[in-house]
Amino acid sequence: MITYGYPEIDLADELALAARIGVEVLELLPEWSRFPDPALVRREAADRGLVIHSAHGCWGGRTIRALRVDLGTTDPEAHRQSVDDLRRCVDWLAEAGGTCLVVHPGGLSDPADQPDRRAALARGLLELAEHARAAGSSVRICVENMPPGVHPGSRMADLAELLRELEHPRLALALDTGHGNLTFGTAEETLAAGSLLATTHVHDNNGRQDAHEPPGRGTIDWPAWGRALDEIGYDGPIILECIRALRRDESGYQPEVLRGIARIGKDEPGEAVT
Domains and their CATH numbers in the chain? 2-266 (3.20.20.150)
pLDDT at 60 over 70: yes
Is 19 exposed, middle or buried, given 0-12, 13-18 or 19+ CB atoms closer than 10 A? middle
Which pLDDT belongs to residue 260?
A: 72
In angstroms, rounded to a whole number, what is the distance separating the alpha carbons of residues 210 and 208?
7
Which pLDDT belongs to residue 273?
A: 27
Which pLDDT belongs to residue 261?
A: 79
Q: Which amino acid is at 64?
A: I
Q: What is the pLDDT of residues 75-123, one digit of tens each?
A: 999 999 999 999 999 999 999 999 999 999 999 999 999 999 999 999 9
Interior/surface letters 134-166, b for 16+ CB within 10 angstroms, e for the rest: eeebebbbbbbbbbeebbbbbbbbbbbebbeee
How far apart, in Å, are the Cα atoms of 49 and each of 3, 24, 45, 237? Answer: 18, 8, 6, 16
DSSP of 127-154, one letter per residue? HHHHHHHHTT---EEEEEP--TTBTTTS
Q: Which DSSP state fits 214?
A: P
pLDDT at 265 over 60: no
Which pLDDT belongs to residue 78?
A: 98
Is 49 exposed, middle or buried, given 0-12, 13-18 or 19+ CB atoms closer than 10 A? exposed
How far apart, in Å, are the Cα atoms of 14 and each of 28, 260, 269? Answer: 10, 26, 9
Which pLDDT belongs to residue 266?
A: 38
Q: Mean of the per-residue pLDDT values for the chain?
A: 94
Residues 6+ apart with CB under 8 A from 188: 180, 228
Q: What is the pLDDT of residues 164-197, one digit of tens each?
A: 999 999 999 999 999 999 999 999 999 999 999 9
